[in-house]
Amino acid sequence: MIYLDNNATTKMAPEVLASMEPYFKDCYFNPSAGYAGAKKIREAVEEARFLIAKLIGCDSHDIIFTSGGTEASNMALREIQSCGGSLALPTTDHDASRITAKNISTSLLCPVDNQGVIDENEWISLCHSPHTAGFTFAWANNETGVIQNAKKLCALAHDAGKLVHVDMVQCIGKMPVNVYEIDADYASISAHKFHGPKGIGCLYRKPGTPIKPLIFGGGQEFGFRSGTENVPGIIGMGTAARLVLNHQEKHIKHLTKLQHDFEDFLIHQVGKVHIHSAQAPRIPNTTNVAFEGCTAEALMLLMEPRGLLCAAGSACHTIQPEPSHVLKAMGISDTEIRSSLRFSFSSYTTRDELQEICKIISETVIKVRQVQSTKTGPVIVYKP
């Protein structure tokens, strides 16, 4: 199997699994207990917190462990909304922010251009609107990989006295990040997006910025997130952070080369393709491409038995499929959206696998295009 859906989740690094195992066995003490064994567990938790803070360019005390990126985003967005008014966000944002904003307040949507880049003039207008409580945006988009100018967007919001939350879930391991440098008020990350375990993430909070807990109880996480810590998850996240710190430059070069060669093949060998957001800055592991004369469902149906896994849009919509709101916001036609697939690589993707990937895609596209005609239209897969 060749797995190219790494923006949905990544496989756990062997080093991560090995680091977690003792905390499921002998090192099982509650880190809040007072005896020596528990204090060693607390030290391990704080070491992981230090590594994660170092990874994103902040101090350990700025990190609040959560169950993942979605919980972290919920904490930040509820705090921003409590300032009064509506949450402003791009039309292309992830559901962790988009649906949360819709449910806790009215949303103010900022349009993007045809590459998925936020319209700066509209952003400025929202900054100075009396109806805007604050902002949230994804630094790197999960479907197209588009990287927003986070430093400038945060500065514009702050000039108007607004708080900003930055969703960094898709950034870690694919680009350097520094929350102090972009001056984010809040930021969220999730371990399973960079070869860590599922069920653990964190919220970054700028020192002095207000935050209220969603979960009350024993006062863990500096009083901001009660409940006995997910110690194995935290240790695994810390190990994943260490791996990124040690190998990030090499992995980014590897991903950049894979993306370049893959897209070059699609354009010159497969043909009749459109790579979404090709003119915008993108994280180097993500290619979202429309195949003329094909549907995403037909392509995926034929590629999976051959061992190639990818995605049509966000994994959040696989259970209840609907056209990608990201591509629609960019002005992409429904026909082109239905023909679009997202391929997201990881540092584990090899050059040999890339050759096999290209072979499978080329042969699959040829097969689907041969079946469809001007009379039949694109091949559509109907599921009962």
Phi, psi at 208, each rounded to 5°: 90, -10
Written as six digits, the tokens of 357 are 């990937």
Q: Indicate the DSSP class of residue 329.
A: H
Written as six digits, the tokens of 149 are 């100018």
Helices (H), the chain: 14-20, 36-56, 69-81, 95-104, 120-127, 150-159, 179-182, 231-265, 296-303, 325-329, 334-338, 351-371
- Buried/exposed code over 71-106 (b: 16+ C-beta within 10 A; e: otherwise): bbbbbbbbbbbeeebbbbbbbbbbbbbbebbeebbe
| Selected catalytic residue, list 83, 310, 316, 358 | 316
The span from the CA of 106 to the CA of 110, in Å, is: 13
Question: Residues near 372 by Cβ (< 8 Å), separated by ≥ 6?
Answer: 293, 294, 378, 379
Is residue 349 within 8 Å of 258, Cβ to Cβ? yes
Told to judge if 310 belongs to the known catalytic residues of this protein, a careful annotator would answer no
Helices 296-303 & 351-371 angle (0-180, nearest 10): 120
* Run of H or E residues at 195: none
| Residue position matching structure tokens 């430059």 | 249
Helix (H, G, I), strand (E, B) or coil at 377: strand
Q: What single-letter amino acid sits at 325?
A: H
* Run of H or E residues at 59: none
Task: Work out the burial of residue 263: count CB atoms within 10 Å of its CB; fewer than 13 is exposed, 13-18 middle, 19 or more buried.
Answer: middle
Is residue 157 within 8 Å of 134, Cβ to Cβ? yes
List, by residue number, the catalytic residues: 316
